[in-house]
Amino acid sequence: SREMTFRWLATQFWRYRMAVLLLTLGVTSLDSHVNGYNMQMTRKISPPVAFLKTHKTGSSTVQNLLFRMGEREGATFAFPYYTYQFSYPDKFRAEFVDELPDGASQFDIICSHMRLDLGQLKQVMPPNTIYFTILRDPLQTFESIFSYYASTIPAFTLAKKAAEAAENKSALSLFLESPESYWDPKEHGNGLGKNPMSFDLGLNSQQWNSSWPADLTLLEETFQLVMIAEHFDESLVLLGALLKLQPEELAYVRLNARSTQDVTQLDDKIKARIRSWNNLDVVLYDFFVQLFWEKAEQYGLKRLKMEVARLRASTERIRQGCVAREGVPPGELEDLVRPWQTDTVTILGYQVQGNLTQQELGFCVRLVLPELQYHAHLYFQQYGRDMRATFRPLRLLLEEVKDVVCSCNCQ
């Protein structure tokens, strides 16, 4: 929670920067021209969407696209009551969602980190909601999670400490030699330490049990699309068809990427160990990859190839118009566009072009805007106040209630 508080404090700063740069520019509707490309957007009401934001799978890139879509369309976001995620790693509950803002009749988009509970999520979102998520090869997902959360996930922290004492052994290889000796299943913060994607999907991620097949079937029936990070552009085309988005509305830059120096090359032994430790994620991933290609075939493989080419061409044009430099280390980035860092990895960002009109700048900044900054901005836009910091201790809440009651009745 200390990390969360820091993150939140940081977002307060972003909010003010956003307010100066974006809100006063009046670019909340993105009628922009990016380097001659006509981005005239007509307001359309998309069906409501629930995007399950899994960890370290490319999900921030997808979320950014939804943030832009929602902002363009004036959608109402279901935001967490506290901070930018739904009391993670607790299982999602409807009460974690902030109130419906004045004048709104339903939530249109939910896309912040949560551990899924479908029944609870369905209480929040309208019945015609489109559910989708993204999965990534469990090898890359786990390697990314391990390095990003080496100081946050207790099991990984233990391995990191052990590695500091052992010579010539990386924390990752030490952990994988005997994961059970570092990983305590009862430790609340260890959820992402084993089968992280299954954990995010609300499945039993500790071991296979008899409810797994039925749980998988329910996910298959509920999720209209499970994107695959290794086929990101193909996934986007299918998403575009589902949400009726034009290729230029699907333009993106790869967000939240680590510096290549922080990416561990995996040899065959380590790969086998990651697969065995994350065997449920392997099952999950293989299942949905197969389903993905079935959906792709239904869409038409030739048509898919054509649409991917169209998407890449328009995305390239937009990137060239917006991005001056990619893969920029945090020290060289403005606060506004600097991604959140952890003490174990360097996350790279983007510098936008300097010669843009104000309209273009509004569009391009949003394209490269990291999760926390965009979240804080949209929250402020929706509620006219800042995101709440963190859970308030019950004692403080009770004192507040007492104050309110007393100011009415206590004279």
Ligand X SMILES: Nc1ncnc2c1ncn2[C@@H]1O[C@H](COP(=O)(O)OS(=O)(=O)O)[C@@H](OP(=O)(O)O)[C@H]1O
- Site for ligand X, rule CB under 6 A: 55-61, 140, 144, 229, 232, 254-258, 263
Query: Can you tell me the distance from the alpha carbon of 367 to that of 318, in angstroms, rounded to the nearest whole number?
Result: 10
Asked if 223 and 132 touch (Cβ cutoff 8 Å), the reply is: yes
Asked if 238 and 299 touch (Cβ cutoff 8 Å), the reply is: yes
Closer of 61 and 76 to ligand X (Cβ): 61
Query: Can you tell me the distance from the alpha carbon of 237 to that of 299, in angstroms, rounded to the nearest whole number?
Result: 10
Q: Minimum Å distance from CB 332 to ligand X?
A: 18
Q: Minimum Å distance from CB 134 to ligand X?
A: 8
Q: Minimum Å distance from CB 140 to ligand X?
A: 6
Query: Can you tell me the distance from the alpha carbon of 367 to that of 87, in angstroms, rounded to the nearest whole number?
Result: 27
Closest Cα partner for 318 from 33, 8, 20, 4?
A: 33
Closer of 135 and 364 to ligand X (Cβ): 135
Closer of 106 and 140 to ligand X (Cβ): 140
Closer of 256 and 278 to ligand X (Cβ): 256
DSSP string, 4-21: HHHHHHHHHHHHHHHHHH
The residue whose Cβ lies closest to ligand X is 60
Closer of 61 and 120 to ligand X (Cβ): 61
- Which tokens belong to 381? 């836009």
Non-local CB neighbours of 135 within 8 Å, separated by 6+ positions: 54, 57, 141, 197, 226, 227, 228, 229, 284, 285, 288, 289
Q: Minimum Å distance from CB 270 to ligand X?
A: 15
Q: Quick one: how far is CA 348 from the chain centroid?
A: 16
**b or e along 161-171 (b: 16 or more beta carbons within 10 Å of the residue's beta carbon)?**
ebbeeeeeebb
Q: Minimum Å distance from CB 259 to ligand X?
A: 8
Q: Minimum Å distance from CB 96 to ligand X?
A: 18
Closer of 159 and 251 to ligand X (Cβ): 251
Q: Minimum Å distance from CB 136 to ligand X?
A: 7
Q: How many helices and strands, by DSSP H and E, does the chain display?
A: 15, 8
Closer of 27 and 109 to ligand X (Cβ): 109
